[in-house]
Amino acid sequence: MVLDSGGAPRREAEIGPGELAWSFNHLDPAVAETAYETMGRIRRGCPVARSGELDGFVLVTGYDEIREAAQASDRFSAYVDGLGAAAVVTEMREAVAPMFETDDDHHHQWRRTLMDFFTPAAAAAQDQYVRAICRETLQEMIPRGAADLVSGYTRQVPPLVIGRMLGLAELERAWLSEHVRALYSAETLLEAQQIGRVYADFLLGQIRERRARPGRDLLSCMVAAEVDGRIANEEELVKMTMLMVAAGHLTTADACATAVLQLLENPALRERVTALPVLLEPFVEELVRHEPAVAATGRTVTTHTHLGGLTLEPGDRLLLAWGSANRDERRFDDGDVFRLDRDRSRTPHLGWGSGEHRCLGRHLARVELRVMLDELLRAIPDFQLQPHATVRRTFGVIRGVATLPVQWSRR
Ligand code: HEM
């Protein structure tokens, strides 16, 4: 919040883009409702600007500037302290997660090692499993006539899918699903720390089990991978697994919730995709452009350089606001508008990232989102927001919706 010299808050319209950027903190819950309006004003004035929040960082909101920073790994490292994706894993701050937080050849080797689990064919092979758990979840829900679709549906399915990829048995998947939901909705730091410790111990047990008895799953592959002549230690593996679980479920769960909200707010669009489910494919892609679930991640400057006219020094931290890039008026016409028929061939959106760390799970995410929405629209075609329900958007590393209290006619 910006105050005038007398200490009174000023309206956003009275504040210049540089000043708006200076007080911008993507983790402040107050940012969520107007995140894109605020970032739009900042972007049009200064697409690379300094913020004084969170010990100081550089907010990058322009398309070209974000793409440049994501692609120039010789100037910008994926390792960043306290900003971006790894900040969702507070339990293991000291360890460096292989792949996610590493650069260059070390990073390439890791990606190549895991690639087979993330091909379009591997993603398509999850279709039936995703469909089965969607149906099971919805069948239990239907007789109730009302539910919060976030806790009851969008956050139920993705943890089971990533758990299965990691090679967890059915009961362990259910355990994981329950604990990550509790962890990421904990109301106090103490509660989060307690759940975090139990969760880290669980993952450590799984890692040790895979070392002793390797399977053909993603976790066994991570545990056995030899990169630069060594295998990752237990601390690195726990952090990497936590990030993999977070990448694999927070994103898809929140993207699905945002998609449902988009359908609730846009009845004509909802009618079109319900009548013609094949349209869910372009719908998901436009959703990831318009409101990418990964809203902002970080980089660290490694050499004296410039970006968008700003001089940067080693150690400066950048925040790449992917969703703002996707609305940059220099690249997209009416970027703020959700358009199912948008021509995507001219400018690729950056909702899946760009450069060497571009989303490894994008094919899987597309399958999960398409199937989750398809099954929901088939099972409960008439769901509506409950009267007087308030819907609160969230923003931070991840963009989503806190709750979606809906009701439908009981059959
Ligand atoms: C709508 C859903 C999703 C969105 C919008 C999304 C977006 C992104 C973005 C923007 C990045 C790049 C971050 C950066 O460069 O700083 C990324 C990386 C990554 N994503 Fe996703 N993601 C989604 C779902 C998934 C899923 C389901 C998985 C499955 C595990 C996944 C796995 C990963 C991994 C492993 C990386 C890191 C790749 C690397 O460091 O080389 N993502 N994602």
* Full DSSP string of 329-367: TTT-TTTTS--TT---SSS---TT--GGG--TTHHHHHH
The answer to whether residue 333 is domain-embedded is yes
Examine the pLDDT at 296 and tell me if it is beyond 70.
yes
Mean pLDDT of 78-98: 79
**What tokens were used for 396?**
């931070």
Q: Give per-residue pLDDT as tens, 121-145.
A: 999 999 999 999 999 999 999 999 9
Q: Give per-residue pLDDT as tens, 342-375.
A: 998 889 999 999 999 999 999 999 999 999 999 9
**Which of residues 83 and 202 earns the better pLDDT score?**
202
Alpha helices in 147-230 (DSSP H): 149, 157-165, 170-184, 189-212, 218-224
What spacing in Å lies between the alpha carbon of 341 and ligand 1's midpoint? 25
Q: Give per-residue pLDDT as tens, 328-345.
A: 999 999 999 999 999 988
pLDDT for the residue 193: 87
Share of the chain above pLDDT 70, in %: 94
Q: Give per-residue pLDDT as tens, 224-279.
A: 999 999 999 999 999 999 999 999 999 999 999 999 999 999 999 999 999 999 99
The answer to whether residue 3 is domain-embedded is no
What spacing in Å lies between the alpha carbon of 311 and ligand 1's midpoint? 29
Ligand 1 atom closest to Cα of 284? 1
Q: Give per-residue pLDDT as tens, 63-82.
A: 999 999 999 999 999 999 88
Structural domain range at position 46: 12-407
Cβ(138)–Cβ(380) below 8 Å: yes
What spacing in Å lies between the alpha carbon of 154 and ligand 1's midpoint? 18
Give a three-class secondary structure readout of 111-161: HHHHHHHHCHHHHHCCHHHHHHHHHHHHHHHHHHCEEEHHHHHHCCHHHHH
Ligand 1 atom closest to Cα of 70? 15
What spacing in Å lies between the alpha carbon of 330 and ligand 1's midpoint? 25
The set of long-range contacts for 209-214, using a CB threshold of 8 Å and a minimum separation of 24, is: 210/167
Mutate to test the pocket of ligand 1, among 217, 294, 300, 363 (most ligand atoms within 8 A of CB): 294
Answer left, alpha or beta for residue 164, where phi above 0 means left and psi between -120 and 50 means alpha: alpha
343, with CB counted inside 10 A (0-12, 13-18, 19+), is exposed
Cβ(289)–Cβ(326) below 8 Å: yes
pLDDT for the residue 88: 67
**What tokens were used for 163?**
């758990």
Nearest CA, atom 3, ligand 1: 251
Range with the lowest mean pLDDT among 54-63, 351-360, 391-400? 391-400
The answer to whether residue 5 is domain-embedded is no
Cβ(236)–Cβ(97) below 8 Å: yes
Q: Is 251 in the pocket of ligand 1 (CB under 6 A)?
A: yes
Ligand 1 atom closest to Cα of 293? 5
What spacing in Å lies between the alpha carbon of 358 and ligand 1's midpoint? 7
What spacing in Å lies between the alpha carbon of 89 and ligand 1's midpoint? 15
Ligand 1 atom closest to Cα of 356? 41
Structure confidence at residue 85 as a pLDDT band (50, 70, 90): low
Q: How many domains does the chain have?
A: 1
The answer to whether residue 7 is domain-embedded is no
The answer to whether residue 289 is domain-embedded is yes
Nearest CA, atom 23, ligand 1: 251
Mean pLDDT of 291-299: 96
**What tokens were used for 376?**
């929901």
The answer to whether residue 198 is domain-embedded is yes
What spacing in Å lies between the alpha carbon of 352 and ligand 1's midpoint? 6
Mutate to test the pocket of ligand 1, among 362, 364, 373, 398 (most ligand atoms within 8 A of CB): 362
Single-letter amino acid code for the residue at 313: E
Helical packing angle, 234-265 and 170-184, nearest 10°? 70
The answer to whether residue 143 is domain-embedded is yes
Mean pLDDT of 34-45: 96
Give the separation between CA 363 and CA 293, rounded to whole angstroms: 15
pLDDT for the residue 86: 65
Residue with tokens 């993330």: 118
pLDDT for the residue 132: 98
Nearest CA, atom 42, ligand 1: 361
**Which of residues 93 and 151 earns the better pLDDT score?**
151
Examine the pLDDT at 46 and tell me if it is beyond 80.
yes
Ligand 1 atom closest to Cα of 354? 15
Structure confidence at residue 90 as a pLDDT band (50, 70, 90): low
The answer to whether residue 401 is domain-embedded is yes
Structure confidence at residue 9 as a pLDDT band (50, 70, 90): low
What spacing in Å lies between the alpha carbon of 244 and ligand 1's midpoint? 9
pLDDT for the residue 152: 95
Residue with tokens 């669980």: 202
Q: Is 364 in the pocket of ligand 1 (CB under 6 A)?
A: yes
Examine the pLDDT at 13 and tell me if it is beyond 70.
no
Structure confidence at residue 5 as a pLDDT band (50, 70, 90): low
Mean of pLDDT over the chain: 93
Ligand 1 atom closest to Cα of 287? 1
- SS3 state of residue 251: helix
Q: Is 361 in the pocket of ligand 1 (CB under 6 A)?
A: yes
Ligand 1 atom closest to Cα of 292? 5
Side-chain half-sphere exposure of 297, counting CA atoms within 13 A: 26
- SS3 state of residue 68: helix
Q: Give per-residue pLDDT as tens, 95-122.
A: 899 999 999 999 999 999 999 999 999 9
Give the separation between CA 203 and CA 215, rounded to whole angstroms: 16
Cβ(293)–Cβ(303) below 8 Å: no
Q: Are strands 146-148 and 57-60 parallel, antiparallel or unpaired?
A: unpaired
**Residue in 247, 246, 295, 254 with CA at minimum distance from that of residue 400:** 254
Give the separation between CA 110 and CA 45, rounded to whole angstroms: 39
Q: What's 64's domain CATH number?
A: 1.10.630.10
CA distance readout (Å), 318 to 81, 291, 326, 343: 10, 20, 18, 30
Examine the pLDDT at 11 and tell me if it is beyond 80.
no
